[in-house]
Structure 1
Amino acid sequence: MFDPHHLTVLADTLPNPGPKAPPGMGKTFSDWISWGKYVGMFAGVMGFIACGIMMMIGRRNRSHLSAEGAGGLVWVIAGISTVTLSVGIVTAMMGG
């Protein structure tokens, strides 16, 4: 007969260690994260510049372009927020 209590006891006995870098890879992983953040920072700056240019060009007789630039700001901010919070969110979820 199926006993759901037995599964709870089994789950309580399984180990749940925190994340650990393989030997010699800690600095390498840290470098990769740093490079990814740097690329994200560069892309965010370029995104803001592109949105600003679109808004300036679209000021006269091209209101659609200006609206696209203003709408793009939301996506740039969302992307920057995701890059900025990525390490904290993953660490919180994985228990690091």
Structure 2
Amino acid sequence: MSLMNAVSDAVALAPMDGPGWNAPPAAPPGMGAIMPKWVGWAKYFAIGAGILGIIACGIMMMVGRRNRSHLAAEGANGLLWVMGGLSVVTLAAGVVPAIVGGA
């Protein structure tokens, strides 16, 4: 227990108010123009995958209508997952800066 007390005391004495502890987010050198492009590409591919996912779920539901109810149920279940994934992708740009406190 004495080691825990010593570590606790050392952490309590450490300066935590310096400018480096609460610095705003900054892009590494050379990444300022590249990172927004990568984020844009990721959004583009995510939207494309979402469109293809919804189409695939619709086909599964259409094919599974007669005598293949399990396939139709899988299509309907997959639709919920695709919509959930698209919601996460759509909300990412607003939620992450709000949580982290960035610009």
TM above 0.5: yes
Normalised to the residue count of structure 1, the TM-score between the two structures is 0.85
Indicate the residue corresponding to 2:12 in structure 1: 7
Aligned CA RMSD, in angstroms, stands at 2.0
Aligned to 2:69: 63
Following superposition, the deviation at residue 55 of structure 1 comes to 0.2
Q: Offset of 1:8 from its aligned partner?
A: 8.3
Cα separation, 2, equivalents of 1:73 and 1:52: 8
Structure 1 partner of 2:28: 22
Q: How many residues align?
A: 94
Give the Å deviation of 1:84: 0.9
Deviation at 1:95, TM superposition (A): 1.3
Q: 2:88 aligns with which of 65, 69, 82?
A: 82
The correspondence for 1:45, drawn from 51, 54, 76, is 51
Partner SS, residue 22 of structure 2 = coil
Whether the 8 Å CA contact 1:18–1:94 is kept in 2: the answer is no
Which is helix-richer, 1 or 2?
Answer: 1
1:95 aligns with 2:96: no
Shift >6 Å, 4+ stretches: 1-4
Whichever residue aligns with residue 80 of structure 1, its letter is L
For structure 2, list consecutive stretches of 5 or more residues without a partner in the other structure: none
Q: CA separation in 2, counterparts of 1:55 and 1:89?
A: 33
Structure 1 unaligned spans of 5+: none
**Cα distance in 1 for residues equivalent to 2:30 and 2:14:** 36
Query: What percentage of aligned pairs have identical amino acids?
Result: 52
Q: 1:36 aligns with which of 20, 38, 42?
A: 42
Q: Distance in 1 between matches of 2:76 and 2:39?
A: 30
Instruction: Please tell me whether the aligned partners of residues 44 and 76 of structure 1 are also in contact (alpha carbons under 8 angstroms).
Output: yes
